[in-house]
């Protein structure tokens, strides 16, 4: 049970403040998951855990209320028409940020991009599908593809599909792409922005640059301008 997990997990960034514990218990009581298992990632703004559920393993992502850079979050979210009502209130921005990731994952799925299936969201906690074969799918930075050129081509296709849905990932890199059986899976969509954002094309170019930096190290001829044209045309 989550209540009994507090002592076992508090070492991971003290993520379990009283409010978050209540949120986790609400999700557990709704049957979204049964119990937390182990940490996958401990970051400055969010902690990610595996969890058991009645349908198998899921991922629980918890945004940390006291350490999130809500000013940075607001800079991304203030141009999003879905969140025009927001003011610079710390908790409301974090809750909107979490819900935004949930909604953006649905948009990406509708676009035909492989992403974790969103399962549930409540305040600062997001529950999504666990991407695994025999083990959790690794970040691309931790497992190079056997055929980097082919893998890059799939990444560009996904970027183009997002663009056609008027969405830019905004933080694409070897950290936010999983290598699942030699196929890319995009993750971490909280900062994904619509084309209404005046900096959307800047973020897209940054995504392309980051992707090219990674694949050039693997010997792939990665032309940023060419990819930008492929994504936007």
Enumerate the active-site residues: 171, 188
- Is residue 190 classed as helix, strand or coil in its secondary structure? coil
Determine the Cα–Cα distance for residues 198 and 216; give it in Å rounded to an integer: 29
Q: What angle do CA 168, 170, 172 make, to 5 degrees?
A: 105
**Burial class for 162, CB neighbours closer than 10 Å (0-12, 13-18, 19+):** buried
Q: What angle do CA 13, 18, 21 make, to 5 degrees?
A: 80
Q: What is the dihedral of CA 53, 42, 130, 22, to 10 degrees?
A: 30
Q: What is the 3-state secondary structure (H, E, C) of 90-105?
A: HHHHHHHHHHHHHHHH
Determine the Cα–Cα distance for residues 230 and 168; give it in Å rounded to an integer: 14
Q: What angle do CA 46, 214, 146 make, to 5 degrees?
A: 105
């Amino acid at each position: 049970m989550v209540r009994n997990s507090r002592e076992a997990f508090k070492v991971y960034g003290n993520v379990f403040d009283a409010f978050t514990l209540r949120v986790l218990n609400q999700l557990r009581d709704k049957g979204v998951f049964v119990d937390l298992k182990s940490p996958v990632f401990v970051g400055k703004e969010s902690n990610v855990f595996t969890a058991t559920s009645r349908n198998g393993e899921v991922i629980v992502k918890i945004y940390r209320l006291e350490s999130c850079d809500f000013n940075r979050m607001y800079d991304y979210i203030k141009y999003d028409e879905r969140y025009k009502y927001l003011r610079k209130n710390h908790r409301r921005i974090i809750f909107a940020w979490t819900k935004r990731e949930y909604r953006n994952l649905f948009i990406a799925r509708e676009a035909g991009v492989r992403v974790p299936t969103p399962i549930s969201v409540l305040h600062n906690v997001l529950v999504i599908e666990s991407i695994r074969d025999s083990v959790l799918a690794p970040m691309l930075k931790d497992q190079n593809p056997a055929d980097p050129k082919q893998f890059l081509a799939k990444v560009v296709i996904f970027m183009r599909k997002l663009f056609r849905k008027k969405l830019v990932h905004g933080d694409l890199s070897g950290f936010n792409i999983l290598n699942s059986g030699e196929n890319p899976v995009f993750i971490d969509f909280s900062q994904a922005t619509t084309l209404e954002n005046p900096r959307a094309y800047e973020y897209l170019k940054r995504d392309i640059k980051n992707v090219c930096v990674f694949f050039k190290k693997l010997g792939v001829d990665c032309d940023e301008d060419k990819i930008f044209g492929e994504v936007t045309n």
